[in-house]
Chain A
Amino acid sequence: MKKSILTLFFVVIATQLSAAEPVKIGMITTLSTKAGYLGEDTRDGFKLAIAQESGKLGGFPIELMVEDDSRKPEKGRQIAERFIKKDNARILTGIVFSNVAMAVIPKVVREDVVYLSTNAAPSKLAGKGCDPNYFSVSYQNDNLDEVVGQYVNDSGHKSVYLIAPNYPAGKDHLAGFKRYFKGEIKGEVYTKLGQSDYAAEIAGLRAAQPESVFFFLPGGMGINFLKQYSQAGLADEIPIYGPAFSFDERILEAVGPAAEGVKNGSQWTHDLDYPANIQFVKAYREAYNRMPTLYAAQGYDTARLIGSALKEVNGDPTDLIKFRAALKKADFESVRGNFSFGNNQHPIQDVYIREVIKTAEGYTNKTVEKVFSNHVDAYASECPM
């Protein structure tokens, strides 16, 4: 009798303790360098979901640890190591850049840690390199190029001129565009990475007389290109297209009127008419006093997905098989509307074309058209899962 009471006492204590022990989530993201706002938005979107449940996700307390990878692969790797070994985190998330992701993800998923991508989703992890412990909540990197390829096709443009920087991601993004564009390619130019002046490329482009232009130039490169394109007087003559990466609200602020009217591909815009999205945009603006970007929406969705899975496994992510199955159900209301995971654990979702417009508050995007419904990425069939 005495013994069983004692046992009962310990059981009660143990369950009390485990209930109080928060679920640890390690966020590796880019908070410094010029691209630091991408990580800030990812973090703030994620934090908003936790704050809305007053410190919990799916009803279980969360301890979110955030570290800055400074956009450096080796630093991302060190942080991951620390999160896993020292802090004992079983869930990692948050990486913005694909090169950092490639240094971190293949290693951590081997150690039975679940990684949920809030942004970077390189093709190597979507096809043959897919893994049961890896989920992309954002997209597969070139989804946003594919949608533009299809749209440019649908708009009746018979030819295109392509520009991207000369590094692996540049070629991937153009490949995504070419997968759906059926017309003639009048030129395919690879510039130096980090190039600032595009006068030579723009002169060549004008001489080639294409009916449309598609560019993938991340960060400051895109700002420079758009300004110079407009200064060359081409903005009114040849329509220009790109993936959403050069058109978030913070970049548009620096580009100014040169971006107005440019159409770009994205799986999310703040004006998508879903209750979850309307609520998210309002809450985000109240909490941080700025418009959410794509990265904020992806961070928010990732947090809510984790919440939905934690609820199902009763707050215990250590039973990997159950936890992964719960994640794969994607039983949450995404701000993007339709959302489910394909066999390679990348999203099956709608992808849109949006247009840059000017409002009283500055430049922003509005949704123009849904181009793909329940779109599956091109690498899913190669994934053995």
Chain B
Amino acid sequence: MLLFFEQILNGLQLGITLFLMSAGLTLVFGIMQVINLAHGSFYMIGAYVCATVAARSGSFLLGMALALPAAALCGMLMEFVILRRLYKREHLDQVLATFGLIMFFNELTRILWGRQPLYLNVPSWLSGSIELLPDLVYPVYRLAVIGVGLFVALALWFMFSRTRLGMQIRAGASNRDMIGALGVNIKLLYTMVFGLGTMLAGLAGVMAGPILAVEAGMGESILILTFVVIVIGGIGSIRGAVAGALLVGLVDTLGRAFLPTLFRLVFESATADAAAASLSSMAIYILMAAVLVWKPTGLFPAHS
């Protein structure tokens, strides 16, 4: 039972990292109608900047404080220089261009930082584990990740439903010509939304840095999961991103954790291990297929 609870926490933590990634991606798609495959690169930039600054200064917080604006600035620069020209083009052109950007960013990090992964440790005040319940020990850092994710989700909700900026963004998503006609600088708004999205990806990267290897190409593996999340949640919807991310995080974690045990009840050990390992790595795609059969536009489609 305690193990089940611990695995739920693990699922939640993965889900929250995915939410930070997918929120930015889906925001950009929902508002600008642009598919940005290079979103994972900003996750990587966040992790690299944080690792570099933390190594030089010894402070994780300073690393984080510089990594977030760095990811946002890189994102805004990319929007200003490249993506702006792609808004009116077809999605295929956008996919090709942003795929090229993935390679560009990966190569750039290799040139700047070398091919070896960087070292980024958990800050000492977040290291270690605490006993949540008797016999349930959980790493403090992962709890902090959950906390930060929940805070960001609340802040995004507040921004979208309670502020003028959020209102403009939502209006821009529905009808970009109209909001332009009402005197809102739509170009600036787009750039800012893009910066916000890439900053969230950078934040996900910063938080993943101490857990994972900070290396070139680290954004790609999470990018695939992120796309699964937004397809399940409904492309362009923040609410969908929350639901999809938690669902994918839980299904992936619980599948990996409990499928082998379940299979062993039925098959002999070697067969069970092999089958469970294969099935658990497919679990989220099966989930995606099931959701799409049931609701072809995802759980919470943006423009329904």
Contacts and interface: CB of A to CB of B under 8 A. Distances in A.
Interface of A: 33-34, 36-37, 166, 188-192, 194, 196-197, 199-201, 203-204, 206-207, 220, 223-224, 227-228, 231-233, 250-251, 253-258
B274 interface: yes
B150 interface: no
B128 A254 contact: no
Nearest to A164: B277
A255 B213 CA distance: 8
Given A233-B129, A254-B213, A199 B119 contact: no
Contacts of B119: 253-256
Interface in B1-27: 3, 6-7, 10-11, 13-14
B98 interface: no
A233 B137 contact: yes
A200 B137 CA distance: 13
Contacts of A255: 119
14 contacts: A37-B116, A166-B277, A188-B273, A196-B212, A200-B11, A203-B3, A203-B6, A220-B218, A227-B212, A231-B211, A232-B139, A254-B116, A254-B118, A258-B121
Contacts of B211: 197, 224, 227-228, 231
B69 interface: no
B214 interface: yes
A199 B210 CA distance: 13
Q: Is the contact region of chain A dominated by helix, strand, or loop, or is it mixed?
A: helix
B127 A189 contact: no
Interface residues of B, number: 44
Nearest to A222: B213
A231 B257 contact: no
A279 B215 CA distance: 34
A196 B117 CA distance: 14
Interface in B102-137: 115-119, 121-122, 127-129, 137
B33 to A, nearest CB: 31
Contacts of A204: 3, 257
Interface string B263-303: 00000010001100110110000000000000000000000
A190 B116 contact: no
B221 interface: yes
B190 interface: no
B141 interface: yes
A231 B127 contact: yes
B142 interface: yes
B221 A257 contact: no
A250 to B, nearest CB: 5
